[in-house]
Structure 1
Amino acid sequence: MTRSLSGFLNPISLLLFTSFACAATVTYDFNITWTKANPDGQFERSVIGINNQWPIPTIRVNIGDQLIVNAYNGLGNVSTALHFHGMFQNGTTNMDGPAGVTQCGIAPGSSFTYNFTVAQPGTYWYHSHVRGQYPDGLRGPFIVNDPNSPFKDQYDEEIVLTLADWYHQLPSTLLKRFISYANPTGAEPVPESALMNDTQGLKIHVEPGKTYMFRVVNMAAFAAQYFWIEGHTMQVIEVDGVYTDPMEASMLYFTAAQRYSFLVTAKNDTKANFAIVAHMDEDLFDAIPAGLNSNVTSWLTYEDNADFPQAKEISVEDLQPFDDFDLVPVDKMELLGEPDQTVSLDMIMDNLSDGANYAFFNGITYVRPKVPTVFTALTSGEMATNPAIYGVNSHAFVLKKDEIVDVVLNNLDPGKHPFHLHGHTFQVIARSQDDEGVYANNVTFPKIPMRRDTVLVRPNGNFVLRFKADNPGIWLFHCHIEWHMASGLSVTMIENPLDLQKSLTIPEDHYKACKEANIPTIGNAAGNTKDLLDLSGANVSPKPIPAGFTTRGIVALVFSILAAFIGLAVISWYGAAPLGASTQVAAEKEIAEAQMEHDIARGINTGSVPVSH
């Protein structure tokens, strides 16, 4: 990393950061590579690291800095991309990172530069936004320091903790088993372990009487985590980059992608050490494998020679975290006005004609378009305001400048799901408990709602989010369980595309990345430049199940043909140890061949399905 001083970039920066004499340009040079790791001490496997190291670096900047990340794809066998989770990317939507949305994936042997102003303080993270990659290890903390934090004088030191779930097989390979005719019920892979700072048994030294600010990020692919520190209370002061009035908590619940910052004051007595516990939410798992340890334990260390006690046993009934809905932002932003547009989303998990499980909003499962959505918006003129040109399976909603938008989500599924909106924080103005069904529009909204960028919907429940469309760009709204994102649980917000055409300039290296990956950068979702409403040849999902053909019928059919493929598929999915990039390529090839043979045998025309590059 290099760090150099520069002047403010524009008048807006000058207004935002008048407290600084000058901003810095912070540069990271990342070679994204395969390496080896054994973080839980049970199994060494290939992981995606940076500069041949894993865990990957923590990005640290100050508010107002210009961040430059020069990313080189040294993986050799797959494309990649980086998303800076929680960054608004005002004026730089093309730096947001989702491949096929705001950029082309970075092909093996290619480079790509991310360059944007960091305009907001808080606790964030960065990760791959290519399916199945970030649980392979390509995820790390992103910390934005704020010299004007309202809590800067209330703590002595800062501690960054990450939570994660960990798989012994390559998640990019597990994904092939998850979205498969052999898994029609959609059972997600259960992780083998939980990690804290990408290890287990971490010891965090503290000094008596000092106050520490903990920044905690859940970087999990799947598992939410209950979190507590035995013998201590936490004062929550930030969620997802939003400062909050302090609120005491004895236990926190982190869905995948959520962040909390909180203050902990060390005891004056140094005779004992105390367990820091994260416990994976087993409600998310269809089945709990024998021997699974859902806990990861670290310790607040007062005395190195004292005992390091095991975490105390706790019952399911005792897992009672505080409710983030009650948090009050420090800035006291009041409830936004009545919505100009309401995006209503009914969420289900179901099967399509290939027998595999998918995730749906309003009957549509997301499929990446042939032309990344940002390029369609930039090259379609006045037609950019027509959601049809972005393709059925991009599931686009066009937002007008500065309109107030409500997102009403009805979870018609018995599982918990964390949802994240790119480019914004949102006000959480309504959220049901379990099994309350479809939103009934009979809730009194809080005067000063809690704000964050990732929120949980309860099983068979609902929520209502509200935000202002004041950030022109292309923004995904999606479930942050990686298995569900890959199976299509996403929509695209096209925000003020006509202003975007006037204000956004795409750097030449971004176009070069598309050229090297043979991805078009003009036209509608199908790459059609003559008739933008002609979506012939667009990437689409498999066809719906024929009428009368139930999921139970799919299960019966699957088991009738499994014997023919057991030798090939099971060896690929369960028996092959993850030995590196070559094994990953071989496993994907074998499974793809098995799927193709199966489809040919059944005479299914599945259309174009998303491909993991």
Structure 2
Amino acid sequence: MHFLLASTALLALLKPDPTSAATIPSVKSVTLDIVNKNLAPDGFLRSTVVANGQYPGPAITAIKGQTLQVLVNNKLTDPTMRRSTTVSFDGIFQTSENAYNEGTAFVTTCPIAPGASYTYEVDLADQAGTFWYHSELSVQYVDGLRGALIVYDPDDPHRSLYDVDDLTTLLQLGDWWQNSTLPLLAGYEATGIVPVSDSGTVNGIGRYQGGPAVPFAVTNVVYGKRYRLRIINQSARNVFTVSIDNHPLTIIEVDGVNTVPHTVDKIGMLAGQRYSVVINANQPVANYWINAPFVGGLPARNLHQNATLSRSILRYKGAPIAEPTTPWTLGPENGTALVEADLSPLVATVPPPPDVTMTLDLQVIAGQAIWNVNNISYLAPKVPTLNKVLAGATNASDFDPTENTFVLPAHKTIEIEFPPTDDDDAHPFHLHGANFWVIKSMSSPDVNTVNPLRRDVVGVGGTGTTIRFRTDNPGPWMFHCHIFWHKQAGLATVMLSSPADIRQAVHPSRAWQALCPAYNALPAELQ
């Protein structure tokens, strides 16, 4: 595939070389054909919505400083699923000038109609790390449209800690449903019960209870080498706990932010979160389990679900082609688990004191698929937020109440507090357009205003969570739960920074301006 860098070429680019910047093209072109294809990730064949015919979609790789031009061709035809689409690039900020390429349906764009194409321009600027892309239309990515986006840094400050970092060291975790999203969503809206997945997948492969013994995915290693594993939770609901038997995990990056190395045995990962870890292949040559059990609803609601079947294999060169013979050793009661509050950025930044303080209170209407943020259930407007801003919308009153849009001043520090809840469930809240300081993690009672972690997906709930972010990137940026069933049920807001600056900075292309008229002209069954 023309947009995947070969490992050897990539490693050459990553070597410290003062002339290497001149050899890296400033623009990289990628093509994603969004198609329906019959696939069986867990052994059950079903129609899917996927990029380039595969689940997960092809990994997009780039070098820090490049601009991606991602041509999306919508070739969807299956009437059992949504046939329009969008693609969002999670964790990539997008500058205010480029907000119209951000890909959030009905916030920064209209969807791409079936049979149409659109090229997203993604300016990576100075970002590097582990990201991913997925459909941002309704719950469409549940049907398979999700994949990795890796931005390599030739001057990675952690480069001395590992020997191998390429596409063979990706671990992409996903929850998988054997039914398509339209009936699943209808069932959720009728009962208020979030669908329970049939299985979990690691690098696109899983098993379900009573199903075929699909061969597990394999990560190959060589004794004596150190590997940077980039782990992405691409789920729409499930929380995965990742461990590798007999191999500690040294965390060096969280959601695109380099961190002080921190070693644990297992990591709990919410939907949308990403971690880079270093493992040392220093154990006896053998096969070892890469464990990724998950939680996500009551298993009694889906008898296919067996969370312990969510796993893959770490295979040393010279080991037999076989499954590990050792039992899973890091159950909930064993091993050192990550405590988010123990992480700190490699380069500490002291968050400025807040200029604006907000409280977001999350509530669900019992027995219904309705979630509220401050008593408002988000409902996507017919005219996207950005279109309204470009047409003159400036104040909160210029938007429908159900858009739950907070108008924020430019170049200020915003603090958001999520009050404690009666349970320990975590909603993974994700901010578009920026990341944030985690002033108080739900994993700890402590408040950190000295060197707090920065990330773009954080768990809220439990003992309460507090974050701060800067409005230095004007735009309408969605802030929502990354359990997409909850987002679809209204658990979302829009953080609108400086409408006047947006109007001055944003000059959309004709192709973008054509998206809404084309989408609005479609019959409902094609939207």
TM-score normalised by the shorter chain: which range applies? 0.7 to 0.9
1:170 paired with 2:170, answer: no
Q: 1:278 aligns with which of 292, 295, 302?
A: 292
1:81 paired with 2:86, answer: yes
- Partner residue of 1:70? 71
2:246–2:283 contact (8 Å) kept in structure 1: no
1:349 paired with 2:354, answer: no
Write the letter of the residue equivalent to 2:455: R
1:28–1:69 contact (8 Å) kept in structure 2: yes
- Partner residue of 1:453? 456
CA distance change for structure 1 residues 111 and 453 in 2, over 3 Å: closer, same or farther?
Answer: same
CA distance in 2, matches of 1:64, 1:18: 15
Matches within 5 A, 1:372-411: 372-380=384-392, 384-410=393-419
CA distance change for structure 1 residues 337 and 23 in 2, over 3 Å: closer, same or farther?
Answer: same
CA distance in 1, matches of 2:105, 2:407: 20
Deviation by residue 1:266-316 (Cα, 9 ceiling, x = unmatched):
01532x22111001025x438454452102121211233275225426554
- Partner residue of 1:562? none
Write the letter of the residue equivalent to 1:191: S
CA distance in 2, matches of 1:3, 1:194: 28
1:370–1:519 contact (8 Å) kept in structure 2: no
SS in 1 for 2:319: coil
- Quick one: percent identity of the two aligned structures? 34
- Partner residue of 2:62? 61
The Cα shift of 1:446 comes to 3.7
- Partner residue of 2:131? 124
Write the letter of the residue equivalent to 1:133: Q
- Partner residue of 1:214? 229
SS in 1 for 2:494: strand
Q: 1:90 aligns with which of 74, 95, 120?
A: 95
The Cα shift of 1:339 comes to 0.9
CA distance in 2, matches of 1:3, 1:167: 29
2:29–2:70 contact (8 Å) kept in structure 1: yes
Matches within 5 A, 1:352-501: 356-380=368-392, 384-410=393-419, 412=421, 414=423, 415-432=425-442, 444-459=447-462, 461-501=463-503
1:188–1:285 contact (8 Å) kept in structure 2: no
- Partner residue of 2:239? 224
- Partner residue of 1:111? 117
1:155–1:263 contact (8 Å) kept in structure 2: yes
* TM-score, length basis structure 1: 0.76
User: Alpha carbon RMSD of aligned pairs, Å?
Assistant: 2.5
The Cα shift of 1:240 comes to 0.1
1:63–1:146 contact (8 Å) kept in structure 2: yes
* TM-score, length basis structure 2: 0.88
Deviation by residue 1:502-560 (Cα, 9 ceiling, x = unmatched):
1111111111111111279xxxxxxxxxxxxxxxxxxxxxxxxxxxxxxxxxxxxxxxx
1:410–1:463 contact (8 Å) kept in structure 2: yes
The number of residues matched between the two structures is 491
CA distance change for structure 1 residues 413 and 367 in 2, over 3 Å: closer, same or farther?
Answer: farther
CA distance in 1, matches of 2:521, 2:93: 26
Deviation by residue 1:172-204 (Cα, 9 ceiling, x = unmatched):
320111012xx1xx2211111111000141122
Deviation by residue 1:206-238 (Cα, 9 ceiling, x = unmatched):
111100000000000110100000001111000
Deviation by residue 1:370-390 (Cα, 9 ceiling, x = unmatched):
21000111111xxx3311112
Write the letter of the residue equivalent to 2:128: P
Matches within 5 A, 1:224-243: 224-243=239-258
Write the letter of the residue equivalent to 1:84: F
SS in 2 for 1:374: helix
Write the letter of the residue equivalent to 1:100: F
CA distance in 1, matches of 2:449, 2:101: 34
1:324 paired with 2:340, answer: yes
CA distance in 1, matches of 2:155, 2:244: 28
Listed as ranges, the gaps of 5+ residues in structure 1 are: 5-16, 437-442, 521-584, 590-611
1:300 paired with 2:314, answer: yes
CA distance in 1, matches of 2:355, 2:143: 41
CA distance change for structure 1 residues 62 and 172 in 2, over 3 Å: closer, same or farther?
Answer: farther
